[in-house]
Amino acid sequence: MIEPNSAIKIASSSPLAAVKGMNDILPAQVQRKERLPDSGLWLWFEDAVRKVLAAYGYQYLLTPLVEPTALFVRGLGEVTDIVEKEMYSWTDTMNGDELTLRPEATAGIVRAMVEHNALYNGPLRLWTIGAMFRHERPQKGRYRQFHQLDVEALGLPGPDVDAEIILMVRRLWHELGLVVGRHVRLELNSLGQPAERAAHRAALIAHFEAHASQLDDDARRRLHSNPLRILDNTKNPAMQPLIEAAPKLMDFLGPESLAHFNAVRAALDAVGLEYRVNPRLVRGMDYYNLTVFEWVTDQLGAQGTVCGGGRYDGLFEQLGGKPTPAIGFGLGIERLLLLIQELRLPLPDAAPTAYAVIPDAAALPRVLVLLEALRAQGVSVQMHAGGRDGPGSMKSQFRRADASGARFALVFGADEMAQGMVAVKPLRGESAAQVLRPLDDAAGWAHELRTA
């Protein structure tokens, strides 16, 4: 709480701007395209998400943006990029609680499921969309507040659901016009089980210790805390030969883990979904086991991962719940929409179908009756609303009509209205001429607008 006499200085005259790395998502007319896609694209994406997720029986949930800091420290692991340096954490001055703005969604969802004993009656398939917060260096495709679609299948051991959840993402790509293989690619790996990882980890440490002089600072720091993350270091070319030569986790997997992985692969092969097994795919959180995957693109530079996920069979127990197998993924919405914008894929038209031009405010009551009747017939209409001095000139109204992107102007001229008619004037396309349509029979001609 900021007390009136507190030491915090608030400049009264300088204009206020959004926090660095946190963006406004605005309508197309005002969004600066080079920054981020407009809000229309967001809604279009959400529509596709709802449709696809419903087709697989997923249900929607919302969890808080703020969670106890301990949730992420325990859930994600202490030696992860997120917990080490990316969390927005603070102490609540009212009661001393340690709180954090969620950097990811899975831990909060698992916390909620445990708290409500939600899996009592069996497995759940869940999804949510919302803001995540990470204190990173802002750049294209990387922000401090960003948004994710987050999907979780809880209480199911796989491998069937592992394949299904990956296929669901493919269906989402299809729905959005993205072509697998051309625009996005699937990378797959298995992280095995904790004991297998421990054996691999020991071999990894031995390998890097044997070549200690070649390690960079980052690798040296991670050697005993999280050596797996050294494999993920793609930024330093000098480290690559050593990383290439490192023991592969795949060689440490026991028969059950291998069978799980092979079953996922067989299912993807059966439906013709191409993927690359990437033994270096380890993901940033500690909670993953067995299947992990990423959907990547080459079009966004260093920020190439649009969707990443995997199995986390140990997380429920880690957070105080009963052992519960689970798999999920997070999809970065800004990155995905940047990709779609960059590819210039054909997008649906979000503009209203018609724009109502109203030369004389006296016509308003009859205009409103017709517009309501058209909307009841499924036609979207934007009405010209005037200023203090009335509706404005025809010229300025038509300028607004053009700017709205509408395909038709409905012109409520006094002469036409005297005959019980409105003029329907096409705003786009060359040939079409204006026609008159009856004011009291929207149902009789609404389809001409809808299907044009």
Which DSSP string do the residues of 78-90 spell out, in sequence order? Answer: TTSHIIIII-EEE
Among 143, 261, 293, 412, binds ligand ATP (CB under 6 A): 143
Closer to ligand ATP by CB, 182 or 235: give it: 235
| Phi/psi-derived region of residue 178, left when phi > 0, alpha when psi is between -120 and 50, beta in every other case | beta
Nearer to ligand ATP, 155 or 332 (CB): 332
Task: Scan residues 97-116 and list those touching ligand ATP (CB under 6 A).
Answer: 104
Q: Does 150 bind ligand ATP (CB under 6 A)?
A: no
Among 100, 291, 303, 353, the residue binding ligand ATP under the rule CB under 6 A is 303
DSSP codes joined into one string, 212-262: GGG--HHHHHHTTT-THHHHT--S-GGGHHHHHTSPPGGGG--HHHHHHHH
Nearer of residues 219 and 424 to ligand ATP, judged by Cβ: 219
Q: Cβ-closest residue to ligand ATP? A: 332
How many Å from the N-terminal Cα to the C-terminal Cα in the chain?
A: 56
Does residue number 437 form part of the binding site for ligand ATP (CB under 6 A)?
Answer: no
* C-beta of 23 vs 377, nearer to ligand ATP: 23
Provide the minimum distance between the beta carbon of 250 and ligand ATP in the complex, in angstroms, as a whole number.
Answer: 21
Q: Pick between residue 185 and residue 450 the one whose CB is nearest to ligand ATP.
A: 185
Q: What is the DSSP string of 380-438?
A: -EEEP--BTTBS--HHHHHHHHHHHT-SEEEE--HHHHHTTEEEEEE-SSSSPPPEEEE
Contact status: 130 vs ligand ATP (CB under 6 A): no
63 or 353: CB nearest ligand ATP = 63
Is the distance from CB of 407 to CB of 382 less than 8 angstroms? Answer: no
Q: How far apart are CA 256 and CA 419, in angstroms?
A: 80
- Give whichever of 298 and 389 is closer to ligand ATP, judged by the CB atom: 298
The minimum distance between CB 355 and ligand ATP, in angstroms, equals 36
Q: Contacts from 211-217 at CB under 8 Å and sequence distance 24+? A: 211/242, 214/238, 214/239, 214/242, 215/239, 215/242
- With CB under 6 A as the contact rule, the residue among 136, 164, 187, 216 that binds ligand ATP is 136
Binds ligand ATP by CB under 6 A, chosen from 306, 319, 354, 449: 306
Alpha-carbon distance 307 to 335, whole Å?
Answer: 9
Give yes or no for residue 284 binding ligand ATP (CB under 6 A).
yes
CA dihedral 108, 111, 116, 120 (to 10 degrees): 110
Task: Verify binding: residue 335, ligand ATP, rule CB under 6 A.
Answer: yes
Task: State the nearest-atom distance from the C-beta of 161 to ligand ATP, in Å.
Answer: 19
Cβ-based nearer residue to ligand ATP, 190 or 305: 305
Nearest approach, Cβ of residue 221 and ligand ATP (Å): 18
Binding mask 207-246 for ligand ATP (x = CB under 6 A): ----------------------------------------
List residues binding ligand ATP (CB under 6 A): 104, 134, 136, 141-143, 146, 148, 284, 303, 305-308, 330, 332, 334-335
